[in-house]
Structure 1
């Protein structure tokens, strides 16, 4: 009988100790969380998050060990009551559940530190977009494993859960078809790597610099300073031109020369004018090639390369090429003709007659006869 009356007292003592241990762990965890914000001032954000997550995991582990040991010491007295056995088992499961999610949080923080850290990004083979998507996928996988581990710990039948999740996945798939398509297209872009952040690209009708790549969309800043958001599915279905990936870009400028000019001489003059410019690359060497016969001129195409291509460097190089070639042609007497048309009069109307107003002494109005007007109309 004495032991029967002592058991509730012992149980209430353990309950008090349990509450005290949990309260102390929560208080220490709150202090660590607050100090983690202070650590970001002295350490990098990724390092501060890893330290904070590690300390939280350590505090939770110590609290769990203390409670389990304390409950095992009172196992004999609690077996007399019998009713609290389920409560202790549920408490252990709850602690293990908390530990699983704290461990999952800690692992994701460590992965974020190694995948998204900026310390050695220049020496990595993968792009920032690939590392970011890899981190998101790893984060989802880790938390899914933690959730399924929790269900298994609490005795939930995973087969029924997976069947329900399959039905729910089908419903959500029809409801969010476009969103899932963009997410799938994001993974395809991650694997194909057609561009990276900062590249000068043309996607369909949009041209600009890539500013952000997410799992759902691609953001670029066009040449007018506007920010354009394109869904990944739309990006994946359009033609993508990347002008930055090679580190150099070839430009073309056409110029016409008179038919009386020697093409070889004009080509050598234009090529010499190109080689004097610092705004274009010497290797690959610039080229000057005749490409076609136009109505009033022989068309030469000036081909030259620029490094580290940007719109500003492209416009600047085109400007100096046009100015320098035009000045060189002027020095050499090479004519860049205006568009010309050749008119022929019919023989039966007497053809055309050119009248010099100064020599004839007649005013301009009298110099055009009705016959000549008819000739022009014909």
Structure 2
């Protein structure tokens, strides 16, 4: 009882102190001297409106100046402080002009709280502000890493979400503990919800885990030319759940990340070069060594083919009607267009060089010859076969 009475006395003392500070004796005497006539009150109100307008204009003009000199954040803070000061002072002056300062006094009395609760509130605000500043600091650090190409766009987005969730969860745990909220039931409920979600959305969770695997392993980035199973194209976007690929026939395919990690993945852009293979056949009577040198010289002069490594020509196998040579050439910064252009250039160069050197490119041929004896099918041609045998027996007479 004694503690509660002491607390009530403290609160009453605080309220009386606030009321006295709102209208000290000099302001009370000034109010009684000048703000008794209705016309003076109207004029003072008009001046307050002009003051508020000038304050807002000054805040808007001050903001770009401060932003250019000190940065955007400080400009926003200063602008908010100026506007707040103008509004608070105008409201206080308005209550003095119209003799309604008691409204402010009653409002402050209603806002009066216990010291311990006020301390908890201040600590809660401090924790929330610290969490906000930590989130901004982490996000800026992630942006700097993304600018140095240390993180991809996909990695930056995932890092944003993970960092923000982690900081908010830590700050929330501290605040709940501060206010005496038992987190056991919350954790039990969260565990039950997680179990239900895991059973009902297994594929989604698998895709999300695969997204984290792609985040850390980085087998490809946006803009790479990859092949996943039968899908080949350029990676246009990578999210936490799917990988978007634009195929070369202008189709956008969404591949789940778990399918990407579980399938054979080919990245054509990883080594900054790609080998193309072109087969050509030469006649068995041709000089193989000479044909190989001709192909090497013809392909080596092409601009679409790299000189390092140099093109190679090998005898690959014996074909049905030709000896098959394989020309191996490399292109840089591989794309599908460069690959097709280089392949076309190689074929045209080989064809022109063989035509110039008189080397023929064999092709399969089939020779049709009539048999001496015709076949009999269902009695057709029986008379013709019999007459042919009689002619042979009689010597053709």
Normalized against structure 2, the TM-score is what? 0.66
Match of 1:203 in 2: 228
How far apart are 1:142 and its partner, in Å? 0.7
How far apart are 1:246 and its partner, in Å? 0.3
Contact 1:54–1:106 under 8 Å retained in 2: no
Q: Give the secondary-structure state (helix, strand or coil) at the position aligned to 2:192.
A: helix
How far apart are 1:279 and its partner, in Å? 1.1
Describe the superposition over 1:64-93 as per-residue Cα deviations: whole angstroms up to 9, x where unpaired.
xxxxxxxxxxxxxxxxxxx99974433332
Could you tell me how far apart the structure 1 residues matched to 2:146 and 2:197 are? 39
Describe the superposition over 1:96-143 as per-residue Cα deviations: whole angstroms up to 9, x where unpaired.
323323322222222121212477424x3x444334323322221111
Could you tell me how far apart the structure 2 residues matched to 1:312 and 1:179 are? 35
Match of 1:113 in 2: 140
Distance 1:7 1:197, change over 3 A: closer
Could you tell me how far apart the structure 2 residues matched to 1:94 and 1:213 are? 42
* Alignment size in residue pairs: 302
Match of 2:56 in 1: none
| Higher alpha-carbon deviation: 181-190 or 4-13 | 4-13
Match of 1:228 in 2: 253
Match of 1:10 in 2: 14
Q: Give the secondary-structure state (helix, strand or coil) at the position aligned to 1:244.
A: coil
Could you tell me how far apart the structure 1 residues matched to 2:182 and 2:312 are? 73
Is residue 278 of structure 1 aligned with residue 319 of structure 2? no
How far apart are 1:200 and its partner, in Å? 0.8
Is residue 254 of structure 1 aligned with residue 279 of structure 2? yes
Q: Give the secondary-structure state (helix, strand or coil) at the position aligned to 1:349.
A: coil
Greater Rg over alpha carbons, structure: 2
Distance 1:169 1:291, change over 3 A: same
Match of 2:127 in 1: 100
2:373 to 311, 334, 349: 349
Contact 1:219–1:230 under 8 Å retained in 2: yes
Describe the superposition over 1:9-64 as per-residue Cα deviations: whole angstroms up to 9, x where unpaired.
733765999xxxxxxxxxxxxxxxx99x979x979xxx85xx379959x98xxxxx
* Pairing of 1:158-169 with structure 2 (within 5 A): 158-169=183-194
* Pairing of 1:135-214 with structure 2 (within 5 A): 135-214=160-239
Distance 1:5 1:232, change over 3 A: closer
Distance 1:13 1:165, change over 3 A: farther
Alignment gaps of 5+ in structure 2: 22-59, 82-109, 375-383, 386-397
Match of 2:242 in 1: 217
Distance 1:241 1:119, change over 3 A: closer
Match of 2:118 in 1: 91
Describe the superposition over 1:354-375 as per-residue Cα deviations: whole angstroms up to 9, x where unpaired.
xxxxxxxxxxxxxxxx88xxxx
How far apart are 1:332 and its partner, in Å? 0.6
Distance 1:38 1:207, change over 3 A: farther
Could you tell me how far apart the structure 2 residues matched to 1:104 and 1:5 are? 37
What CA RMSD, in Å, does the superposition of the two structures yield over aligned residues? Answer: 3.8
1:320 to 333, 338, 345: 345
Match of 1:305 in 2: 330
Contact 2:146–2:152 under 8 Å retained in 1: no
Contact 2:146–2:156 under 8 Å retained in 1: no
Alignment gaps of 5+ in structure 1: 18-33, 60-82, 351-369, 372-378
